[in-house]
Amino acid sequence: MVKIGILGVGTVGESVAKILLENADIIEARAGKKIVPVLGAVRDLNKPRDVSIPLTDDPGEVIESADVDIVVELMGGIEKPYRLVRKALEAGKPVVTANKALLAYHRYELQEIAGEIPLFYEASVAGGIPIIGALRNGLSANHIESIKGIMNGTCNYMLTKMIQEGVAYEEVLKEAQELGYAEADPTFDVGGYDAAHKLLILGSIAYGIDAKPEEIIIEGIEEISPTDVEFAREFGYEIKLLGIAKKGEKGVEMRVHATMIPAKSMIAKVDGVMNAVSVVGDRVGETMFYGPGAGGDATASAVIADIVEIVRGNSGPMLGYKKGLESGLPLVPPEAIVTQYYLKLKVLDEPGVLAKVTSTLGEFGISIESMLQKPSRLADRVRLLFTTHQCEERKMKEAIEALKKLDVVEEKVTMIRIEK
């Protein structure tokens, strides 16, 4: 019998305990041993809750108890769980965590500390989708060319609504909050930070890149308007919040932002709260992994899969490699990223304006792929929409500043990156 201690018994923690009890038959058959949840730690023992295991308010007790063989960390936060996970590993106990923020900041230290002790984290990225296993094991023969993931269900739900029903951002956000898909303060989701934590984890497995959230582009979906959605469609694109990690000549690009992607690509077809991660390997070609990204049971399913692997005696190197990845690829700095862009401007409707705009772009070496001119609500204004050929982020940022200074350009300039 293998005994499980759980740090943090909220929705996911209770699901883990419940599934271990309710699906005990199949889990024992697959793992070869009975797996039993024995103890959980919570902050406040007085808070009424409906849980299936004995509780303590001392997380140290879970770690130190001779009765606990494997520690599951589901507390959230960064520094406190870091200290506790560290303590468990130092005590020689395998750890399973779903904590993406912890890993976004401390995965390399934890790998060091873990050594041969299993530290698994399938649930930290895209909930129920076994994408860590796929990258760490299933695609191990491949140099990874790119990872593109829809890794935040809140954003995908909102964008799907905006795309399919033409609803504006503010209205969709309100609705998502009412449905419980978005938090009262939605910044962590809609600002791209949640997806960025997940991307950094995948980027480490694929490329061995030790980057922190502060070092990569993280943008959200707050600026997307129905106009952008509509024009994306005219250009043959859908708009998704993507986490992208991609190998290029200068190194590895990692970034999270609203992205226009071809409507025909598989990942563009992923709607609602579902998540999906597309991985291109140099040998396997394109693969995609689709499923629920959140929810107590889906996340617990991944946590338990990790426990089963540990019980089977499989360790696997934490980040997927036992020796340093020889590629030694550097992280491409945000301003050196090269991609295609969509630009939206509102300009005065008078002769010579288009020439001014395009020649400004030309000054920064930016060439136009396609252009659309649309009437504005105001009679003497028009909207100009461009997609550009590939250019460097730095040049694009400079060009946008220059465009804003033109006296014929009104309001802010909207920019959305394109991935083909």
Binding site for a copy of itself (CB under 8 A): 15, 19, 23, 25-32, 122, 128-130, 133-134, 136-143, 208, 266, 269-270, 281-292, 295, 297-298, 300-305, 308-309, 312-317, 320-327
Catalytic residue (choose from 161, 198, 246, 346): 198
CB of 130 to a copy of itself, least distance (A): 3
CB-based contact 122:202 (threshold 8 Å): no
CB of 208 to a copy of itself, least distance (A): 8
CB of 357 to a copy of itself, least distance (A): 38
Alpha carbon distance 323, 110 (integer Å)? 16
Q: Which is nearer to a copy of itself, 313 or 351 (CB)?
A: 313
Largest CA distance in the chain: 81
Helices assigned H by DSSP within 115-192: 131-133, 153-165, 169-178, 187-190
SS3 (DSSP) at 74:
coil
Which residues, including other chains, have CB under 8 Å from residue 406's CB and lie 6 or more apart? 356, 357, 360
Q: Is 198 a catalytic residue?
A: yes
CB of 329 to a copy of itself, least distance (A): 11
Alpha carbon distance 201, 220 (integer Å)? 19
CB of 197 to a copy of itself, least distance (A): 20
> 364: how many CB neighbours lie within 10 A of its CB?
18
Q: Which is nearer to a copy of itself, 325 or 338 (CB)?
A: 325
Q: Which is nearer to a copy of itself, 76 or 295 (CB)?
A: 295
Helix (H) or strand (E) holding 80: helix 79-90
Which residues lie across from 370 on neighbouring strands?
A: 387
> 239: how many CB neighbours lie within 10 A of its CB?
22
Q: Which is nearer to a copy of itself, 270 or 345 (CB)?
A: 270
Alpha carbon distance 183, 308 (integer Å)? 32
Q: Which is nearer to a copy of itself, 305 or 343 (CB)?
A: 305
410 marked as binding residue: no
Which residues, including other chains, have CB under 8 Å from residue 165's CB and lie 6 or more apart? none
Helix axes 79-90, 100-114, angle to 10 degrees: 30
CB of 85 to a copy of itself, least distance (A): 21
| Residue 116 DSSP label | T
93 marked as binding residue: no
Q: Which two tokens stand for residue 226?
A: 């129905």
CB-based contact 10:98 (threshold 8 Å): no
CB-based contact 307:34 (threshold 8 Å): no
Q: Which is nearer to a copy of itself, 153 or 191 (CB)?
A: 153
Alpha carbon distance 102, 88 (integer Å)? 15
Sign of CA pseudo-dihedral 279, 180, 124, 220: positive
**Active site residue ranges:** 198
Binding site per annotation, positions: 100, 183
Binding site per annotation, positions for NADPH: 100
